[in-house]
Structure 1
C-alpha cells in the first residue's frame, strides 16, 4: 500500500478482502466529489481553479482506477475454478493424456484428441477456462454477442428494410409492394496464437497444474490481442474492429456506416452544458437498443466524465453498487476498454450502444496445442492456436461521439 502527499491510499496489489476494497473505493469517490465541488466553486468565483485542487483531483481519479483494478483482480482470483482438482471428471483419462503430452510429449490416447496438424486438442475444461478468463479480462467479450462455429467462416443474413405496406379500401386494388431488403454479413475466423515456453524441469515438477498454466499463459496473450482487434482491427488477418467502420454524421446515417454526434469543439466537450451532447448521443440510439446499451471508453476519458454534473448538481457518473458491478453514467453501464482513443481532435473517444446486438464475436470450436521441444532448447515451446473472428452485426446499434466541430 502506498500513500500520496494528500494521504490518499493506493493499492499495489489485490487484497483478499473484496468488501474492504469496495468500502475504500466508495470512500475515495466521496472524497473525489468533495474535491471536485471545491474546484467547481473556485471556477465560479474566480474563473480558474486552484492548481492544488486540480492535482488532488487527478490523484483521486488514479486512486479510483487503481482500487477498481484491484477489485477486478481479486474477483477473478476468487472465481477461478480448479481445473485438475480432486473431483473425478468424466474425461479424466483424456485430461491425463493431455497432461502427459504437455509434460513429456507422450501421445497416448491420441485417437480422442488428435488434430490434423499433429497437435493435441485442449481438454474441454481448459478450453472453457481460457474463454471464461478472457470474458473477465476482455471487456468486448463481456459486451458483444458470441457465436461458436465449427467452420472457418460464419455468415449471417440480416433484413435491412422490411416489406413495404399500405392501407387500402375494402374494394380497392392491391398493387404489388416492394419486397424486403436482405444483406449478408460474413465473419471469417482468423488464427490467434501464443507460444509460451517452459523448461523441462518445470514440466517435470509434479506440483505443476499443467492445464491451469496453459490457461493463464494463453489467456494473457489472447485477451490483449483480442480486445485491440475488436476495437481497432483492420480485418487483415484479424477481426475487424467497430471503430474502423465508416463513420458519418447521424443525420446522414445509412446501413453500412456508424452514426456519430459531434461535440462542437475540437478535442473537447462543449465549454458550457457539456452533458447536453452526451444526452444527444443517448437519444441518437433507438429505444429498442437503449434498453441494453452501455458506454465504452478508456479510463482517461472516464476520468473526465466523472467531473460532470446535471442541472441539479448530481454527479452523472456513479460508482458500482456492489464490488462486482459496473460503474454507471447517466443511468447506463460504463465499460472500460483501454484500446479506445483518448480525447483528441476528431477522435471517436466514446461509444454508446447495445453491443450484444451491434458487434459479433465468432469463435471456432477448439484450442489446439502443439508441443515443440526441439526449436529452442532447453525450453519446450507450446504453439497454442485459436481461431477468432469478429465484426459489426448491426450498424444501427452503436453510436459514436466525435470530439470535433462537425
Structure 2
C-alpha cells in the first residue's frame, strides 16, 4: 500500500511540558521528586500507624507518574543535546564537485529511473565505489550519496539507544579484525652485574567481529517521487529507519553473530567457554556480579556491582537497564529508608543511582531469576558498532506495479571491544 508522510508523533518533552527546555524539566523533576519523598514519608507514617489514607495513596501514584514522565522527557532532551554536539551546526557543504554532481544525478535516477549510464560514469570517474554484494552482481544497485548515508545513520542514532552509548566506527571493507595484546610481557629486578635472562613476550591475538547486512524495501508512488518539494533523502531515511533500528536494537543486545552483530549479552563465561578457542574473545568474558537475591535486586548487590569495576576502568561508567527495571530501581531504598535513585541536577546529565548515572537501554531483560537486567560500565569502551561506508539502493519499478520499490542495503557489525570495562548484574543469590 502507499506510504504517506506524517509528522512525528509528539513524545517526551512536548507531551509533558509546553516549556520543554532542559532547565525547566530539571526544576519540575526535582520539585516532583521532593513531593514524592514527602508523600512517601507520610504514607510510611500511616502504614506504621496501621492507617492508610486513600488521598495520600492517590497523590503518591500521581506524583510517581509525573516523575516518570519528566524523567523520560529529560532523557529525550539530553539525547537531542548530545546529537547537536555530535553533528555540529552544519550548513556548510564540504562535498567535492564530483560528489555534488553524483548526488544530483542519483536524485534524478531515484525519482525517474532515467540516466543510469550517466550515473555509472560519474561513479567511475568520481571514484565513488558501489557497495555490491560479494560474488553477486545482480544484487548490486547504486551507492547512495554520502549525505544520504549520513541522514540514514543519524536517524538511527535517534531511535537505537545502543548507538547513543556504544563506540561507533566506520569501515570500508566487508568486515573488521582487531589485534589484541594479551599482555604477557615479563620483567624482573636485577643487580648492576646480575644476569639478565630472556623474559616472556606478549602475544597478539586476532579477533574477527561479526557483520551482517541490513535491508529494507520501501515503496513509493510516482506522484511522491515527482514532487520536487519532497526531500527524497529524508523520505528514504524515514522509510528504512524504523526497520533498521528495530533489527539493530535486537542484534546489538542479543545477536548470535551469525549474519548479524554479536550482542552485548552474548559474552558471559558459559557462552564463551562453549565456543572453539579461536572464536573466543582474546580478553575473556564479561565479569558478573550477583544481585544477592534469587529473584530480585538488592541495594547491597548494586553496591557490589559498582565497586567490582577496577578504578582505572570506572571512568565514564553508567548503569544500563530497560524501562521496567528503572521502575524497580526507583523504588529501592537503603537501610535507613533513603531512596537509591536521585534526579539529575543539570542539563545533559541522567538520573543517578548510588552516585552513578543510570541510562535506559531497551532490549535488556526484565528483573527475573538468572537474568541480566543491568549492565554497568563504560559502553563506549566496552562495545563497538561498525558501519560499512555506503548504502546501496536498487530501484525496482516492475515487481509491485504501480509502486516503485527501493531495495536498500547497509552492512553493519558489532561486538565486544573490551570486557574489562563492563560488568553484568545477574539476578542470583
TM-score past 0.5 threshold: yes
Equivalent in the alignment of 2:3: none
1:362-381 alpha-carbon deviations (Å, 9 max, x no partner):
11111111111111122211
Structure 1 unpaired stretches of 5+: 1-9, 249-253
- Contact kept, 8 Å, 1:187 with 1:391, in 2: the verdict is yes
Q: Distance in 2 between matches of 1:200 and 1:82?
A: 35
1:29 aligns with 2:29: no
Q: Distance in 2 between matches of 1:286 and 1:49?
A: 47
Q: Distance in 1 between matches of 2:205 and 2:306?
A: 27
Task: Kindly indicate which of the two structures has a greater share of residues assigned to strand.
Answer: 1
Give 2:288's match in structure 1, choosing from 260, 269, 281.
Answer: 260
1:105 aligns with 2:113: yes
Task: Kindly indicate which of the two structures has a greater share of residues assigned to helix.
Answer: 2
- CA shift in 2, pair 1:66/1:280, >3 Å: closer
Q: Distance in 1 between matches of 2:296 and 2:315?
A: 28
Equivalent in the alignment of 1:330: 354
Task: Quote how far apart the aligned CAs of 1:24 are.
Answer: 4.1
- Contact kept, 8 Å, 1:18 with 1:74, in 2: the verdict is no
- Contact kept, 8 Å, 2:162 with 2:252, in 1: the verdict is yes
1:151 aligns with 2:173: yes
Task: Quote how far apart the aligned CAs of 1:71 are.
Answer: 4.1
Q: CA RMSD in A?
A: 3.5
- CA shift in 2, pair 1:25/1:54, >3 Å: closer
- Contact kept, 8 Å, 1:83 with 1:211, in 2: the verdict is no
Give 2:199's match in structure 1, choosing from 155, 164, 177.
Answer: 177
Task: Quote how far apart the aligned CAs of 1:112 are.
Answer: 3.2
Task: Quote how far apart the aligned CAs of 1:134 are.
Answer: 2.2
Greater displacement, 57-66 / 225-234: 57-66
- CA shift in 2, pair 1:79/1:126, >3 Å: farther
Q: How many residues align?
A: 387
1:332-366 alpha-carbon deviations (Å, 9 max, x no partner):
32221110000001110000012222111111111
TM-score by length of 2: 0.79
1:52-86 alpha-carbon deviations (Å, 9 max, x no partner):
57754653454345534664687699899999999
Secondary structure at the counterpart of residue 319 of structure 2 = strand
Task: Quote how far apart the aligned CAs of 1:139 are.
Answer: 2.1
Equivalent in the alignment of 1:4: none
Q: Distance in 1 between matches of 2:327 and 2:52?
A: 19
Secondary structure at the counterpart of residue 262 of structure 2 = coil
Q: Distance in 2 between matches of 1:73 and 1:148?
A: 21
1:401 aligns with 2:425: yes
Equivalent in the alignment of 2:20: 18
TM-score by length of 1: 0.83
Secondary structure at the counterpart of residue 109 of structure 1 = helix
Equivalent in the alignment of 1:3: none
Greater displacement, 128-137 / 186-195: 128-137
Greater displacement, 80-89 / 190-199: 80-89
Q: Distance in 2 between matches of 1:217 and 1:148?
A: 23
